[in-house]
Amino acid sequence: MSTESEAVLESLRCQFKDNVFRNVDGFLVKYFKNQTWPPAVQDAIRDAKSANIINELSADLFNVADLNALTEWLADFQSVSFTAKLNIRLRSESISTPESRFSASIYLETGDISTASGSTRVYGEYHHGDAPLTSDDDDYLPFAARAVQVFKALPTRHFLHAFILHGTTLELWVFDRAGAYSSKLVDLAQNPQDLLRILAGYGMMNDEESGINTFVKRLRPGSDSYVSFDEGSKMYLRPEMIAAPGHLVGLGTTCFAASESTIAKPNSVVKFSWRADTTTAELQLLQLAHERKVWGIIQLLGHQNLVSIADLRQPLQFPGSFVNRTLSCVATSPLGRPIRKFTSIRELLEVLGDLVKALRSLYLDGRMLHRDIAIKNLVINPQPSGDSSKGILIDFDMALDLDKGPPPRQIVGSDGFMAIGVLFGHAHSYRHDLESLFYVFLWLAIANDSEHDHACEILERLPEKSRLQKWYSPVLNFPAVGQAVINDMKPEAFEGILGEFSDDFIPLKGLARELHGLIFPVRDGAIFIGTDKGQEAAKRLYTEMEDAFKRSAVLF
């Protein structure tokens, strides 16, 4: 495993700001002191004690200086401690670090998958030598970055157990969607048997104790996974995720294609996400939208709240407050085709025109704002018919019910697609949703990327000199991004954006100029980034944008 890049560490540093707690009181008691082990394991430990094996293993580990020695040590430990759980295995691999000392990752895995869990239950690291653990970011961030990669392999999990061992000092960690927290330092020089007890404790944890999402089940190992809502009917999940989170801290939105049987073609979506308690549940927003007869949005099939961060962290005592989030599972239909997978320019323009109409209905009929218009949240209706929309709005986690009044001032949206005003902290308006849709059009026109949704992934395939590179900040420097977008939206600079259009979109430069003029009219010698008030102004902008897309569509 290679050394983590500075960009990755800086991104993680931003996510963890005010979201990391070290030396949390009650950590060891919660996860290990009250552990109930099967008699066979207790007997194994007692036998090991009598033979002094635990002491020998504890002493030997501190002298391990290469991967072969660590692999042998783990095998010896496993033969002593996990005899009652043959499905548990320990695996290690070297870590490349700037230091010369030996370092390795340790994975505690299981092959007996009764739920839709991944194989890694616990992630750990061993660093040979006496370098002490400190509270400095540079101490835990590289370790945290590698732990987060393990978390990403199974993003539906509730949390991930992890540990880091520096010489004879051990620190235990838990990573979840609200951040991370650790135990007090364990001095193994004073109590060498603690390491083996803790590793054995990890091995004896069941799915729930290991942080696995047990709402996702399997009838038997190797069979298709499924979820079941209150009605009792099962929805079978396809193994490939159709959406996965890019960050640890936050919503953690993860989506799967699903169907009502294992052999039927997928026709719905099952989504897991962690909403903050300060926001309205997507379930309530979708129900309201349908009551208000909003056109062009997903249909709700099922919903269940599963667990909260506060419940998972009970009864630990934290030195500061944390964002409480609730994990919910929502099933919706239809299973649309991602907008990036349009089959023709005409189809794309028709879809974009209908999406303007859907945003109009959301605002005027539903009295709501979406607030997260991005490539990932726009899909093509697989079977449009009659009066149905060819483009569908999905993911209402960030949506706002205007009847509830203004929300707390906060920046919400997806990197690369947020409106200029939003980037500068202005209250979200109907025009901002349309501005974000305009940016979706520009990203599609420039990158023409049919495989990726997130700005950071798309940018990896664009030239370093692309203007879009400055539309995204891995460290969430929103004012800098806002200023970059303002500069590119100035009429003379916008021609540079048009100059980056991919070949298929060159004929659409005229449409882009028209949309630019609607979103950013020049007033008093400068582009206007505010919002015209009143329903008539809103109706006019919706109508003009919808007409622009549909007039262009008939030319293809």
pLDDT tens digits along 339-350: 999 999 999 999
Helices (H), 256-300: 282-291
What is the model's pLDDT at position 49?
57
Q: Supply the pTM of this predicted model.
A: 0.88
Instruction: Give the count of alpha carbons within 13 A of 41, CB side only.
Output: 21
The answer to whether residues 171 and 163 touch, using CB atoms and an 8 Å cutoff, is yes
Q: Which of 503, 498, 536, 542 is nearest to 519 (CA)?
A: 542
Angle between helices 345-364 and 430-447 (to 10 degrees): 170
The answer to whether residues 388 and 405 touch, using CB atoms and an 8 Å cutoff, is no
**CATH fold of 234-553:** Transferase(Phosphotransferase); domain 1 (1.10.510)
Locate the domains of the chain by residue range.
Answer: 6-204, 234-553
Q: From CA 547, how far away is CA 553, in angstroms rounded?
A: 10
Q: Which of 131, 147, 159 is nearest to 27 (CA)?
A: 159
Distance, CA of 147 to chain centre: 14
What is the model's pLDDT at position 222?
66
Helices (H), 390-530: 420-423, 430-447, 455-459, 478-489, 491-498, 509-519
What is the model's pLDDT at position 193?
77
Chunked mean pLDDT (size 10), the chain, 556 residues: 72 92 94 68 58 70 88 85 68 84 91 56 90 64 94 95 92 98 92 83 89 88 83 87 92 95 93 92 94 96 95 95 96 96 98 98 98 98 90 96 83 96 96 99 98 95 97 92 98 97 98 98 95 97 98 96
The answer to whether residues 334 and 376 touch, using CB atoms and an 8 Å cutoff, is no
